[in-house]
């Protein structure tokens, strides 16, 4: 679809207000409904799903340590907006079509409030999944200042529910962050980047079939989905008028499958101040920021002395990343435009601090357990590719069962030709290194033989992470400490088409 770029203003999602707040707890309700919203000036209104009547959903703003309770309410219609494949796990015909469960991505929470994929619920909680245990979720917010996001996590239809619009920001702030005098208030802006395709009538387009239709199936899951337009905060190719000063942008890739490699066409640097799970030790100047689905990067961009300039944030990540079709510079090669046209409303006293927060490095010697986990694939009965973790289906007995307080090193051994962004619930981790290995030898004999040197994480990854890119034919090592909760969580690939089929496994933290 050929839509004119930079004709709509960037929307800023509203901040959700709690229904009750006292010194001990804050209580919110967030209701999911179906409605129409304009996603581009020249496009008829699009039917989407959202929270509190907006897509993307409203932003939660909470303080570290604040006890927050949220009742996620499903008020959606009975019929799904998008084509369901009933052959995949969790989406068989005995399950109601419209089911939801909300996960707070990157948060460390008790398992009953984590949005387990089989803890789904329907409109009015009339039907619930086998692991459903409570209507009101509890978030203790033990994490330091960070950019989290909430999204649907229902087994077998996450890709559809998120594509329909069920996602939003959840920001944690704290005193340490305020003491750093980062750009704040109107100059602190979250940017949720997604790709979508549309039918001429404005409705969302999501394929019903793979490129070569699967014989015997009316509707089949696709191996990945790439839209032909880019949206930021729910508008196609928006623009933002800015003042000649510093801004803090919280970049989130909330796309189903698309990776981004973002740059500013002015050649300016992004000063990255935070990774997925919070502030880094020091800022790092980056010419490009790579974001896999679910990854976040917080950056400061300085528009000082650029009065009158128009700066485009571009993307040159091939799809699939990194060896797919090169990006078309006229379409998804562009993300949004910054126009330095607003007068300076006050002196810019914000800073790019030299030091932010300590980042104690975890050492491999601290780990009491090492796991070797293959990222693999097989063919299903219809001849479709199925991506797997550790060669296991979702329903196989739980094998990742770390002890509370235990530090572990995971070797993510990618035997596939695809890149997979791997995400763990409950914990944040550090990337140790990546290394090429002899794939055939590993497949045949189970022997891990490296064929190249260990590469440290790239500068933008040197911080607290919850999602890591596992490149094809490489071993990616991560280290983390399990806690502070025990219970049933998950780990998975965050390409939503992979996660749904069936690149997700339970993760149980035991006492």
Give contact residues for ligand C2O (rule: CB under 6 A): 103, 105, 151, 153, 294, 423, 425, 490, 492, 494
Smallest gap from residue 490 Cβ to Cu ion (A): 14
Concatenated DSSP letters for 232-291?
ETTEES-EEEE-SSEEEEEEEE--SS--EEEEETT-PPEEEEEETTEEEEEEEEES-EEE
Cis peptide before 502 (omega within 30 of 0): yes
Instruction: For ligand C2O, give the closer residue by CB, 151 or 263.
Output: 151
Q: Determine the Cα–Cα distance for residues 305 and 180; give it in Å rounded to an integer.
A: 23
Smallest gap from residue 153 Cβ to ligand C2O (A): 6
Q: Does 470 bind Cu ion (CB under 5 A)?
A: no
Q: Strand 167-173 relative to strand 57-63: parallel, antiparallel, unpaired? A: parallel
Instruction: For ligand C2O, give the closer residue by CB, 156 or 244.
Output: 156
Contact 367, 400 (CB under 8 A): no
Concatenated DSSP letters for 86-116?
TTSTT-STTS-SS-B-EEEET----GGGS--
Q: Does 494 bind Cu ion (CB under 5 A)?
A: no
Smallest gap from residue 282 Cβ to ligand C2O (A): 27
Question: From Cu ion, ligand C2O, none, which one binds at residue 420 (CB under 5 to 8 Å depending on kind)?
Answer: Cu ion
Instruction: For Cu ion, give the closer residue by CB, 202 or 320.
Output: 320
Question: From ligand C2O, Cu ion, none, which one binds at residue 105 (CB under 5 to 8 Å depending on kind)?
Answer: ligand C2O
Question: From ligand C2O, Cu ion, none, which one binds at residue 103 (CB under 5 to 8 Å depending on kind)?
Answer: ligand C2O
Q: Does 498 bind Cu ion (CB under 5 A)?
A: yes
Instruction: For Cu ion, give the closer residue by CB, 91 or 495.
Output: 495
Q: Which of 313, 493, 496, 507 binds Cu ion (CB under 5 A)?
A: 493
Instruction: For ligand C2O, give the closer residue by CB, 103 or 392.
Output: 103
Q: Which of 196, 250, 420, 477 binds Cu ion (CB under 5 A)?
A: 420
Instruction: For Cu ion, give the closer residue by CB, 250 or 420.
Output: 420
Instruction: For Cu ion, give the closer residue by CB, 56 or 90.
Output: 90
Question: From ligand C2O, Cu ion, none, which one binds at residue 235 (CB under 5 to 8 Å depending on kind)?
Answer: none
Q: Which of 76, 98, 495, 496 binds Cu ion (CB under 5 A)?
A: 495
Q: Determine the Cα–Cα distance for residues 161 and 164; give it in Å rounded to an integer.
A: 5
Q: What pairs with residue 59 in β-bridges?
A: 15
Residue closest to ligand C2O, measured at CB: 105
Total residues interacting with Cu ion, rule: CB under 5 A: 4
Smallest gap from residue 507 Cβ to Cu ion (A): 17
Question: From ligand C2O, Cu ion, none, which one binds at residue 423 (CB under 5 to 8 Å depending on kind)?
Answer: ligand C2O
Q: What pairs with residue 284 in β-bridges?
A: 272
- Quick one: which of 481, 392, 425 has its CA closest to 112? 425
Question: From Cu ion, ligand C2O, none, which one binds at residue 80 (CB under 5 to 8 Å depending on kind)?
Answer: none
Instruction: For Cu ion, give the closer residue by CB, 412 or 427.
Output: 412
| Lookup: tokens for 154 | 């229902």
- DSSP, collapsed to helix, strand or coil, labels residue 175 as helix
Contacts for 468-471 with beta carbons within 8 Å, 24 or more apart? 468/412, 468/421, 468/422, 468/429, 468/431, 469/290, 469/292, 469/295, 469/419, 469/420, 469/421, 470/375, 470/412, 470/414, 470/419, 470/420, 470/421, 470/422, 471/322, 471/414, 471/419, 471/434
Question: From Cu ion, ligand C2O, none, which one binds at residue 477 (CB under 5 to 8 Å depending on kind)?
Answer: none
Instruction: For Cu ion, give the closer residue by CB, 109 or 493.
Output: 493
Smallest gap from residue 211 Cβ to Cu ion (A): 18
The two counts, helices (H) then strands (E), for the chain are 4, 31
Burial of 67 per CB tally in 10 Å (0-12, 13-18, 19+)? middle
Binding site for Cu ion (CB under 5 A): 420, 493, 495, 498
């Amino acid at each position: 679809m050929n839509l004119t770029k930079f004709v709509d203003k960037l929307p800023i999602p509203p901040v959700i207000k709690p229904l009750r707040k006292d010194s001990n707890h804050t209580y919110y309700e967030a209701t999911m409904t179906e409605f129409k919203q304009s996603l581009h000036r020249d496009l008829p209104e699009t039917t989407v799903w959202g929270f509190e009547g907006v897509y993307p959903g409203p932003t939660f703003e909470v303080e570290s340590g604040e006890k927050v309770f949220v009742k996620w309410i499903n008020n959606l219609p009975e019929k799904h907006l998008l084509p369901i494949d009933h052959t995949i796990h969790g989406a068989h015909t005995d399950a109601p079509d419209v089911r939801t469960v909300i996960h707070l991505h990157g948060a460390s929470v008790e398992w009953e409030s984590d949005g387990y994929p089989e803890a789904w619920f329907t409109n009015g909680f009339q039907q619930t999944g086998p692991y459903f245990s409570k209507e009101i979720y509890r978030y203790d917010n033990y994490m330091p200042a960070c950019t989290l996001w909430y999204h649907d996590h229902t087994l077998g239809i996450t890709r559809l529910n998120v594509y329909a619009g069920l996602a939003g920001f959840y920001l944690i702030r704290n005193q340490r962050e305020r003491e750093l005098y980062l750009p704040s208030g109107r100059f602190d802006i979250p940017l949720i980047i997604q790709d979508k395709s549309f039918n001429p009538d404005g409705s969302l387009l999501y394929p019903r079939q793979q490129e070569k239709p699967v014989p015997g199936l009316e509707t089949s899951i696709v191996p990945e989905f790439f839209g032909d337009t880019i949206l930021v905060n729910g508008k196609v190719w928006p623009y933002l008028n800015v003042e000649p000063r510093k801004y803090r942008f919280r970049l989130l890739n909330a796309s189903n499958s698309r990776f981004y490699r973002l740059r500013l066409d002015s050649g300016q640097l992004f000063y990255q101040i935070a990774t997925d799970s919070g502030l880094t030790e020091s800022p790092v100047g980056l010419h490009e920021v790579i974001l896999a689905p679910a990854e976040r990067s917080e950056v400061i961009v300085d528009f000082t002395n650029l009065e009158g300039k128009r700066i485009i944030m571009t993307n040159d990540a091939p799809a699939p990343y990194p060896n797919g079709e090169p990006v078309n510079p006229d379409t998804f090669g562009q993300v949004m435009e910054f126009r330095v046209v607003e007068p300076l409303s006050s002196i810019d006293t914000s800073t790019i601090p030299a030091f932010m927060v300590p980042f104690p490095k975890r050492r491999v010697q601290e780990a009491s357990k090492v796991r070797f986990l293959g990222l693999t694939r097989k063919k299903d009965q219809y001849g479709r590719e199925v991506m797997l973790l550790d060669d296991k289906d979702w329903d196989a007995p739980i094998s990742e069962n770390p002890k509370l307080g235990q530090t572990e090193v995971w070797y993510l051994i990618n035997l596939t030709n695809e890149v997979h962004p791997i995400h763990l619930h409950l914990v944040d981790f550090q990337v140790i290194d990546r290394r090429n290995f002899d794939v055939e030898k590993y497949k045949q004999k189970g022997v891990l033989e490296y064929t190249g040197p260990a590469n440290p994480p790239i500068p933008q990854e040197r911080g607290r992470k919850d999602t890591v890119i596992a490149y094809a034919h490489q071993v990616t090592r991560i280290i983390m400490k399990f806690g502070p909760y025990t219970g049933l969580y998950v780990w998975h690939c965050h390409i939503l088409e992979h996660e749904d089929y069936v690149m997700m496994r339970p993760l149980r933290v035991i006492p």
